[in-house]
Amino acid sequence: MDEVTLEMINLLKARTDIAKQIGEVKKSIGKGVADEEREENLRKKIMKVSQEIELDETLASKFLNFLLNESIKVQSENKQTHLSIFLKAKSLEQEG
């Protein structure tokens, strides 16, 4: 059980790193963080696999929601907001 849990943590780290990279690409091309079409396609795949392996679909859905929310959170951390742009402008203004 411990080995499976540790492997899941390692996979979560790998997924988080990939999400950060995707967030940087999205930021560089001016694309929003959320991609509803991609999320819906992934959701369908997860539900199909859950049925095939006889995993409770509610549990699978909750787990996917957690993963998607974490990806959005990670990708949003590097995204500039109006406030961050304003604060940077004020800082530059004070520097002259």
**Domains plus CATH for the chain?**
2-95 (1.20.59.10)
- Residue 67: its pLDDT value, please? 95
HEC string for 9-34: HHHHHHHHHHHHHHHHHHHHHCCCCC
Burial class (CB in 10 A: 0-12, 13-18, 19+), 55: middle
- Residue 80: its pLDDT value, please? 57
This prediction has a pTM of 0.75
- Residue 28: its pLDDT value, please? 82
User: Average pLDDT by consecutive 10-residue portion of the chain (96 residues)?
Assistant: 98 96 86 88 97 97 94 78 59 66
